[in-house]
Copies of this chain bind each other. A is one copy, B any other.
């Protein structure tokens, strides 16, 4: 795929790439969608180049689909990374050798690439990578077990997670990540998994109900022996309002 791009490099924005950080949640686990590169044993964020005739945001969607088979995900841009030496690495040299690139192609590829980061949070059990005609391995990897990544991809991943954690203070999460009916402890586990720390049960209950996005159902969780917890669902209309207008009433 890279060779095809290099043969048509005039069709791509020079020195610009996109990297996607796709977080997956399911059953209290936080995972990250990664590619195992063909060129080395290292893992990488799914990324690629920007066609000259495609809007940047649209290119992110196309790249994610092309590298992983995953589509229909709403990607948010979060930061652009542009250190002078960010893609000067052993990895880049391996790629040049792997393909036996011409000096001209190697030059294009080894120039500094400024990369625009996009992230998303999805239910990984619903989001199955299906790479087509591609020998790349694509996998959901536990966030706590992410191995060494190529280039500055670890920094990009960490920045995305920091952004997601900040977003928790600005908007609710949970819709499409939890079953339609869920308990408050299940919702709290989602927040704890993203934040990577325990939360106080009472404080969480107070804050989450204050947002006004939960509807208490006249049902309790079944298959629970003792003190079955109440089930809730999201008030979709109110939820979307809060996503749009922000969580804090602000000033």
Chain B: which residue is nearest A208 at the CB level? B251
Within 8 A of B (CB), among A54-71: 54-57, 59
Q: Does A234 have its Cβ within 8 Å of any Cβ on chain B?
A: no
Chain B: which residue is nearest A195 at the CB level? B251
In the complex, identify which listed stretch (A39-47, A79-87, A220-228) lies at the interface while the others stay far away.
A79-87
A84-B58 Cα distance, complex, nearest whole Å: 10
Contact partners of A169 in chain B: CB under 8 A: 169-170, 246, 248, 250-251
Within 8 A of B (CB), among A71-103: 77, 79-84
Contact partners of A116 in chain B: CB under 8 A: 80, 82, 114
Q: Does A243 have its Cβ within 8 Å of any Cβ on chain B?
A: no
- CB–CB A52/B250 < 8 A: no
- Copy count, this protein chain: 2
- CB–CB A16/B195 < 8 A: no
Contact partners of A83 in chain B: CB under 8 A: 55-56
Q: Does A53 have its Cβ within 8 Å of any Cβ on chain B?
A: yes
Q: Does A199 have its Cβ within 8 Å of any Cβ on chain B?
A: yes
Q: Of B16, B55, B191, which one neighbours A251 at CB under 8 angstroms?
A: B191
- CB–CB B250/A168 < 8 A: yes
- CB–CB B82/A168 < 8 A: no
Q: Does A209 have its Cβ within 8 Å of any Cβ on chain B?
A: no
Interface size on A, residues (CB 8 A): 37
Q: Mark A195-208, 1 if CB is under 8 A from B, else 0.
A: 10001000110010
A3 to chain B, nearest CB (A): 21
Question: What are 26 residue pairs bridging A and B, where the CB atoms are less than 8 Å apart in the complex?
Answer: A13-B112, A15-B16, A16-B114, A50-B82, A52-B112, A53-B84, A54-B84, A55-B82, A55-B84, A56-B81, A59-B82, A80-B80, A82-B116, A114-B116, A168-B250, A168-B251, A169-B169, A169-B248, A169-B250, A169-B251, A191-B251, A195-B250, A195-B251, A199-B251, A204-B251, A248-B248
Given contacts A168-B251, A204-B251, 20 further A-B contacts (CB under 8 A): A13-B114, A14-B14, A15-B15, A16-B16, A52-B84, A52-B111, A52-B112, A55-B83, A56-B81, A56-B82, A56-B83, A56-B114, A77-B79, A77-B80, A80-B116, A114-B116, A169-B250, A169-B251, A191-B251, A195-B251
